[in-house]
Amino acid sequence: MPTAMYKAGESFPVQFAWRLPDGDYIRAVFRAEVLDFVPAADKYVVRLTELIAGRQEDADGALRPSDQFDRSYWAMVGRLVGQKLAIAYEVEDGRAVHMRLATLTGEHNYFYRYSLAEKMVERQKEKIAQQVKKASED
């Protein structure tokens, strides 16, 4: 059974990789701050606090110069900073976590599900507060 190497408040690098439609790969390394744990699932809850490195490779693994990076996909990578997610303890090994492209484009909510849930909770709190206010005025 895997165990967490990091404690809440500590940070470590996490690398993600996506294969682009043209065959290129994007590899991005983020600093991930441990916020909490999901022990039953052997996962960390982390926030991606900083994009610390990145590269784009062609289908043969050759590094592309930065002026040839696909700017639209790199903009999506940049938007991942600040997102909260759950990720398996095995990410500690430093190897890239290969992700479906849909997780980068937002078609799959892997990187955004926590922020979406938090926004929903805030809307519910506001709704309840309005109902309480209205009830107290009646």
Residue 4 maps to a domain? no
Residue 119 maps to a domain? yes
Query: Which range (32-41, 64-73, 109-118) has the least confidence?
Result: 109-118
Provide the number of structural domains found in the chain. 1
Kindly report, residue by residue over 77-124, the tens digit of the pLDDT: 999 999 999 999 999 998 999 999 999 999 999 998 888 878 888 888
User: What is the band of 37 on the pLDDT scale with cuts at 50, 70, 90?
Assistant: very high
Residue 5 maps to a domain? no
Q: Which two tokens stand for residue 107?
A: 């078609």
Distant-in-sequence, close-in-space partners of 25: CB < 8 Å, separation ≥ 6: 17, 18, 19, 56, 57, 59, 61
Q: How far is CA 111 from the centre of its chain?
A: 4
70 phi, psi to nearest 5 deg: -80, 100
Residue 3 maps to a domain? no
Residue 6 maps to a domain? no
Contact 98, 129 (CB under 8 A): no
Domain extent for 112: 11-137
